[in-house]
Amino acid sequence: MKTLKEYALITEKRLNEIIPVLPENSFEPENMPELLSRSMRYSLLAGGKRLRPAMLLAACEMLGGDIQLALDFACAIEMIHTYSLIHDDLPGMDDDDMRRGRPTNHVVFGVGQAILAGDGLLNMAYEIMLKTAMNAGKDADKCISAASEIARGAGVTGMIAGQCADLYQEGREDGSEAMLRFIHEGKTMAMFVGAMRAGARLAGADQKSLDAITEYARAFGLLFQASDDVLDIIADPALFGHSVGKDVRDGKLTAVSILSLEGAKARVEALLKEALDAIRGFGEEAEFFVRLADTVAHRDH
């Protein structure tokens, strides 16, 4: 298995090919407008951590699959994740002006073009997954079930559900732990679950392995968001890449607002243990996932 950095590089190289650099200001029939490719590339190739594609590729490799078959699915999930960041940053949603350490898409390209950049990334993600499935011969079923896992994670019972609840809850006084869980499971956890299950599907994993990696991805996703909530309070803005203290200013329901800072930190540790227990059965083969959970739980940005 590779490191996070290696998986990230493989993914970025392929993303660079999928969305080409075009002649400036060209609007050629049958081609995407250059403005669209520029705005999509601006957010997509802006140095994200590439956690979801790396987890997809690592799950596939750990379970004996072919990462060449998985590569376009890894790119697809990163494209969907990036669309969600672009839309989340819009004035009608979180209204953020910094992301991945640079001005947000709508600040540079305007709100209308930013919506289209997000729409473009979302649609292209499904195009490339379907194209891979159509060309996969005997592996077509694996590709279709992987695409379906990703669609579920990103969709109306996954990420979009969480974002809907997050917006609904903003500024309300009636936040509960159940609502916090709904938001975290949807907005954050579902995409990690989708990524790892897609990798496992591409490897043709059996039910036992699928269950174990699902349990890991669930604990990891909740851990990731709880630690993000903690960092919103304590991170150094120069390192964090987006705004610090914004959740409190926006009246957001977070792990810290419900559990207190110390309670949220304790939750991160408990979830780390859950995640590690879930993949113990894979032994040394799961080294990537052990390290990743530990790093995310103890990060400072």
Can you tell me the distance from the alpha carbon of 146 to that of 76, in angstroms, rounded to the nearest whole number? 11
* Residue 51 contacts ligand GRG per CB under 6 A: yes
Q: Which of 54, 59, 67, 85 binds ligand GRG (CB under 6 A)?
A: 85
Bridge partner residues of 99 (DSSP): 102
Specify the residue, 159 or 297, whose C-beta has the smaller distance to ligand GRG: 159
- In the complex, the smallest distance separating the C-beta of residue 162 from ligand GRG, rounded to whole angstroms, is 7
Mention every residue, 6+ apart, whose C-beta is less than 8 A from residue 226.
184, 255, 264, 267, 268, 271
Q: Which x/- pattern over 170-189 shows residues binding ligand GRG (rule: CB under 6 A)?
A: -----------------xx-
- From the list 64-72, 83-91, 130-138, 253-261, the region that binds ligand GRG by CB under 6 A is 83-91
Least distance (Å) from ligand GRG to the CB of residue 221? 9
Select the span of 47-55, 63-71, 102-110, 206-214 touching ligand GRG (CB under 6 A).
Answer: 47-55
Smallest distance from the beta carbon of 11 to ligand GRG, in angstroms? 11
Which residues, at least 6 apart from 221, have a Cβ–Cβ distance to it below 8 Å? 184, 185, 188, 189, 190, 191, 192, 193
Whole-number Å distance between alpha carbons of 91 and 106: 9
Q: How far is the CB of 98 from ligand GRG (least distance, A)?
A: 11
Output the residue with the shortest Cβ distance to ligand GRG.
48
Q: Exactly one of 48, 65, 158, 199 binds ligand GRG (CB under 6 A); which one?
A: 48
Report which of 191, 295, 237, 200 is spatially closest to residue 97, judged by C-alpha positions: 237
**Would you count residue 69 as binding ligand GRG (CB under 6 A)?**
no
Rounded Cα distance, 194 and 190, in Å: 6
Which is nearer to ligand GRG, 87 or 267 (by Cβ)?
Answer: 87
**Contact (CB, 8 A) for 9 and 3:** no
Distances in Å between the Cα of 265 and the Cα atoms of 81, 142, 172, 298, 299 are 26, 38, 24, 10, 12
* Partners of 102 in beta bridges: 99
Amino acid letter for position 99: R
Residues in region 142-171 near ligand GRG by CB under 6 A: 159-160, 163
Neighbours of 104 (CB within 10 A): 24
Binding flag, residue 104, ligand GRG (CB under 6 A): no
Determine the 3-state secondary structure of 300 from DSSP: coil
Count of residues that bind ligand GRG according to CB under 6 A: 16
The verdict on 37 binding ligand GRG (CB under 6 A) reads no
Part in contact with ligand GRG (CB under 6 A); list of ranges 17-25, 81-89, 208-216, 276-284: 81-89
Are 190 and 81 contacting, i.e. CB atoms less than 8 angstroms apart?
no
- Residue closer to ligand GRG, measured from CB, 41 or 100: 100
101 or 110: whose CB is closer to ligand GRG? 101
Burial 5-21 (b: 16+ CB within 10 A, else e): eebbebbbebbeebbee
**Which residues form the interface with ligand GRG (CB under 6 A)?**
48-49, 51, 81, 84-85, 87-88, 100, 159-160, 163, 187-188, 225, 228
